[in-house]
Chain A
């Protein structure tokens, strides 16, 4: 049984509000079921340029170019996407491009799909190996708090920072329930 904890807050709404408050201009994403509502909120916000990516790696280039042009970028992805950005993160580190990653976790906490487990388990270490600051949100009510703090340390310190949103928050339980989302 891997039911989500009862959501005390509407975390996607709170994250969207934090991104707006902090002055983000560009949102890049590869969809994840856990990001569904946040993606919809971003697409509905005319102040954000919300960019669907064909692979997460593109988001690193997108963020680099946007920062060269003066715009702040946040990237939304699933933990499997972290595996797709590893080499590109070298650009962010060498150039000290500030960047926020909001990562919904798979491959942990009661995962039903074994193919998700290797990358999910490796995600924090892979990010740290490339110099990304890593924070976690294990409950719904701390997601926006962690996003706010990660954005501040990223843009205050010209670094990449990631918030890993626990699968416990997302609460995917089975193929059938995932398909019904």
Chain B
């Protein structure tokens, strides 16, 4: 049983984020990122369950000089397990996927996910060809995870076991075009609107 708390883990990864680009998977991890502070270079997904990791892949391929972090939940990751294989083939060195694993479908009544029954996402990512894939249960491992996300040669994967708890919901903006346009303008400049 991990004693890590999801908001503290996400905050540790995102504080002083530099030029990090972030994709947040739908549900609790989008609220976790918003709780650290809304940011134009965070793209919170309000739909497309299962697509967060591969959205990060597309971003990492388009922007190879920038670091890209996907923060998503275990339920969301389970719906897109094939994307681990797809990322393993592309092996973008600038991509990290961090799964905040509370072993629950948090938005729908806290039903147990497959990880509660022992499904090992980190082992799947390792087998798929990620450069590193770790299971994190201890606070002492968070700093090295942060270093990997911000500086290490990836792709990195981390499955971070956290306490199953309901946090206050902090909502990011939800209109898709607003989120897209502000992200692209912050990343590509005002001319992004003319592409």
Contacts and interface: CB of A to CB of B under 8 A. Distances in A.
Contacts of B89: 51-52
B180 A26 contact: no
Contacts, number: 127
A158 B59 CA distance: 18
Interface in B58-83: 58-63, 66, 80, 82-83
Q: Is the interface of B mostly helix, strand, loop or mixed?
A: helix
B86 A54 contact: yes
Contact of A51 (B21, B61, B192): B61
Contacts of A49: 61, 90
Contacts of B179: 95
B184 interface: yes
B9 interface: no
A63 interface: yes
Given A54-B86, A73-B58, A60 B176 contact: no
A70 interface: yes
**Residue from A26, A53, A70 whose CB has the most chain B CB atoms within 10 Å:** A70
Given A51-B90, A57-B51, A95-B180, A65 B82 contact: no
A65 B187 CA distance: 12
B134 interface: no
Contact of B48 (A60, A68, A69): A60
B51 A60 contact: yes
Which 6 interchain pairs have the tightest Cβ spacing?
A65-B58, A69-B62, A54-B82, A61-B51, A95-B176, A94-B176
Interface of B: 21, 23, 43, 45-63, 66, 80, 82-83, 85-86, 89-90, 176-177, 179-180, 183-184, 187-188, 192, 195
